Structure 1
């Protein structure tokens, strides 16, 4: 069989490593030329228009139970090797549909209400202050490793009741998992590392769960272990999967939101200066960061029946990828979509999803980002990107984030 040339199979270059630097020119072409099209390498229909993505999130005919995608097209031997991943991910609310999704999300969401997250704001402010204090007297700071990475790991770790000193290995496992599930075509090295991360996560949480069963403490992990819904406790696998999901989802995307948002501001200094002068704009500015350069670029669904999306016939069982990052740049919905505008009035982006799978940790991530930017602007108003800095991106088509972001702090405000 003749191989399909990559320029035909992937006409918008989404899988090309160079596209990590700027996927948005490809999305713009996709919106113009083929807003719904089949991507051969991913084996899925890519849906890019805002209206279609919005409708897709709300359409119950598009199923979320799709963990088989990670081993699709692989040999029986590799699929067997991927079983630990499929087992863990199969109980993530992200990959569940009703009624299982309703039951599990109902238990977890009790700990993630906006009011409960707002109560964490003073602690988050203090943590941001501690991390920035470590940079006091320095001319330069590496934002990702010194601020954007540790902050959300510490926050979700404290919420779950995890020892703070464990954050480095938890972050390492999360990065390895992201390399597997966020890449359209993972390498053998990424597969091996990602599978090892799942096994490490489960062994780690299994020990802590056993401890909380006999000696509960005042943390989210204890609450999950003893949570009941109509007399039913979470199973051991549901607990392991939920803890992995919360740890992974609770920091990976927030790290990228902070890094991507700050880079966007530093590349648009007039927007940085506007925010420094008018910090009351910050909540809306964070929404603009989520729209402009989102930490998650797309999500997957599977058609439960024969259906139509954007005029394109989709058959039962076919994969559908809702391209949130492309929808966020749709000129049919957003005025001047490629411009960063912290005063933008239309803020209803697709980054956090819509409907029953709306991001569980949205309120927490927003608060972490708001407090990080507020502290940076207050303490380092002359912050600039380090001249000549090389910016490398996470090797993932699905997760978008910087590996490092070196900045010059400037004089600290008094």
Structure 2
């Protein structure tokens, strides 16, 4: 155990590589903690995090207003295309824009449309499992965790096959902006270039879907109608980019993080192999135990109280799901992996009006991946002696992961 930890340094090696330990210390110090370095409140208690997620009336998600908008104002004029389209992401907006766009996107992105994908996901997973055989070391991020979600979200959207992997590269450059990677000083310039390329690539595809709809998400988005309201081309493009990014990046990290956790709890791997019906609860337990999202940010539109602390209008608030999901006040034996855990009220997908739209797709991909991998391989070996993660406050993503699967 590290004795001297700077609880204000959210990008320290301890916070990045050992967040359970770091945020446990922080939660035990104060579940609602003023961090002068981040210049805002850090919320780590499960009850408090849930309270903030549900209070959208007083806590804004708008990243282009309030204290977050003020810090971006200088860069927005320099990187106009990047910020123009990021500002159309419905997840970063409040009512009424959020409600309007999400309602229209919901008409296209339905749970039923996701479940229809299951046979195709099963087929893809089967194809990706075969190269893992043979008992040789594989780059799991590149050979499995990267490929499955990028193909799934691209096919779901209706992105032309020739653009799928290029879109992933552009998405990665956007990730450095969205997740504020502390080791990439050039992230804004690369993000602007990536956004230019993505918009140029998607604009003719969206136009083609308006003229000749197909059975894909882009077609359903351009056809979505609520009264007289429809999504503009720029809104379709922006939120398609959001789905590519969110649908790929987070699921890739969920799959990789899960294999690390299963390596630490081999009894749960054997349990899943013996009882495949546990795949659904296993996916939710992995989302709780070491999910792909560490934290989400909000800011106060008016004064309020959270966990006994007085939050002033304009204060920034960081909701640390990684800590809330390990709060012993809400989860029995939270440091233990239990793939049959019920109930499992984890906060990884958020709550309230901003709950993650892509949750059913992430669960589906994780379930099918866990099923296929556990059936094919009784055990596996993670080769990294020490795991390292990308230095961001809001995401949990490994820098590398090498595994040998044993038949």
Does TM-score exceed 0.5, indicating one fold? yes
Provide the rounded CA distance (Å) in 1 between the counterparts of 2:371 and 2:73: 50
1:227 matched to 2:224? The reply is yes
Provide the rounded CA distance (Å) in 1 between the counterparts of 2:197 and 2:38: 28
Deviations 1:111-170 (A, max 9, x none): 333232222111100011111223344523222111111111111101111122322221
Provide the rounded CA distance (Å) in 2 between the counterparts of 1:129 and 1:327: 35
**Greater CA deviation, 232-241 or 263-272?**
232-241
User: Does the 8 A contact of 1:12 with 1:27 survive in 2?
Assistant: no
Match of 2:339 among 330, 337, 342: 342
Structure 1 residue 63, shift from structure 2 partner: 1.4
Structure 1 residue 28, shift from structure 2 partner: 0.4
Distance 1:86 1:18, change over 3 A: same
1:351 matched to 2:348? The reply is yes
User: Does the 8 A contact of 1:42 with 1:184 survive in 2?
Assistant: no
Distance 1:41 1:178, change over 3 A: farther
Counterpart of 1:384 in 2: which secondary structure?
strand
Aligned equivalent of 2:136: 139
Counterpart of 1:110 in 2: which secondary structure?
helix
1:403 matched to 2:378? The reply is no
Structure 1 residue 177, shift from structure 2 partner: 1.4
**Greater CA deviation, 217-226 or 11-20?**
11-20
Distance 1:215 1:351, change over 3 A: same
Match of 1:270 among 250, 254, 267: 267
Provide the rounded CA distance (Å) in 1 between the counterparts of 2:188 and 2:115: 38
User: Does the 8 A contact of 1:14 with 1:26 survive in 2?
Assistant: no
* 1:10-25 matched pairs, under 5 angstroms: 11-25=7-21
Aligned equivalent of 1:296: 293
Q: TM-score, with normalisation over the residues of structure 1?
A: 0.91
Structure 1 residue 254, shift from structure 2 partner: 0.8
Provide the rounded CA distance (Å) in 2 between the counterparts of 1:198 and 1:300: 23
Match of 1:87 among 70, 84, 87: 84
1:256 matched to 2:266? The reply is no
Structure 1 residue 224, shift from structure 2 partner: 1.4
* Structure 2: gaps spanning 5 or more residues: none
Counterpart of 1:46 in 2: which secondary structure?
strand
Match of 1:193 among 167, 190, 210: 190
Structure 1 residue 87, shift from structure 2 partner: 1.9
**Greater CA deviation, 187-196 or 329-338?**
187-196
Provide the rounded CA distance (Å) in 1 between the counterparts of 2:146 and 2:89: 23
1:47 matched to 2:43? The reply is yes
User: Does the 8 A contact of 1:58 with 1:354 survive in 2?
Assistant: yes
Provide the rounded CA distance (Å) in 2 between the counterparts of 1:114 and 1:218: 15
Structure 1 residue 409, shift from structure 2 partner: 1.3
Match of 1:166 among 160, 163, 168: 163
Structure 1 residue 382, shift from structure 2 partner: 2.4
Counterpart of 2:33 in 1: which secondary structure?
strand
Structure 1 residue 328, shift from structure 2 partner: 0.5
1:244 matched to 2:241? The reply is yes
* 1:28-39 matched pairs, under 5 angstroms: 28-39=24-35
**Greater CA deviation, 355-364 or 37-46?**
37-46
* Structure 1: gaps spanning 5 or more residues: 1-6
Provide the rounded CA distance (Å) in 1 between the counterparts of 2:77 and 2:234: 18
Q: TM-score, with normalisation over the residues of structure 2?
A: 0.92
Aligned equivalent of 1:152: 149
User: Does the 8 A contact of 2:109 with 2:217 survive in 1?
Assistant: no
Distance 1:137 1:25, change over 3 A: closer
Structure 1 residue 381, shift from structure 2 partner: 1.7
* 1:113-128 matched pairs, under 5 angstroms: 113-128=110-125
Structure 1 residue 316, shift from structure 2 partner: 1.4
User: Does the 8 A contact of 1:12 with 1:29 survive in 2?
Assistant: no
Provide the rounded CA distance (Å) in 2 between the counterparts of 1:401 and 1:187: 15
Distance 1:43 1:28, change over 3 A: same
Structure 1 residue 72, shift from structure 2 partner: 4.4
**Greater CA deviation, 296-305 or 402-411?**
402-411
Distance 1:185 1:410, change over 3 A: closer
Match of 2:382 among 375, 385, 390: 385
Structure 1 residue 67, shift from structure 2 partner: 2.8
